[in-house]
Amino acid sequence: MNRAALAVALLAVTGAGALAAQEPALSAQQDQGRKLYQSTCLYCHGEKVWGTFTLQRRLGADHGLLEKRTDLVAPFVKNAVRNGLGSMPAYRRTELSDADVDAIAAYLTRPRTSTK
């Protein structure tokens, strides 16, 4: 194999892997949800804070960080935000609108390329 063909083959293998590992771009709604999550939810559900530790203790280490989970579904997220769950308080519509809750749910349930 000549050098040019080898270079093309290496680029194809390494480039394809790098592209496949990238997360899909966020939609406008998902990006709004990310911003709302960061400004509202991270106080309890960020790394190394009590909400994350509580979820890890109850559900296992893989389920503590909500942003990393791939098993969440939008109706569950919306219900937890609106009605509270365990020690998590409910958020009223005056605190987070329905559109805000929909955006947070869209962000947390977005498609992922990997679980790690």
For the chain, list the domains and their CATH numbers: 26-108 (1.10.760.10)
pLDDT of residue 13 exceeding 50: no
pTM here?
A: 0.79
- Which pLDDT band holds residue 6 (cuts at 50, 70, 90)? very low
pLDDT at 5: 42
Structure tokens at 17: 């892997």
Cβ atoms 112, 30 nearer than 8 A: no
What CA–CA distance (Å, rounded) separates 70 from 100? 20
Cβ atoms < 10 Å from Cβ of 104: 27
- Whose CA is closest to 105, among 58, 55, 36, 47? 36
- The yes-or-no verdict on residue 16 having pLDDT over 60 is no
Tell whether the model's pLDDT for residue 102 goes beyond 90: yes
User: Looking at residue 21, what is its pLDDT?
Assistant: 59
Q: What's the pLDDT tens digit per position in 26-42?
A: 999 999 999 999 999 99
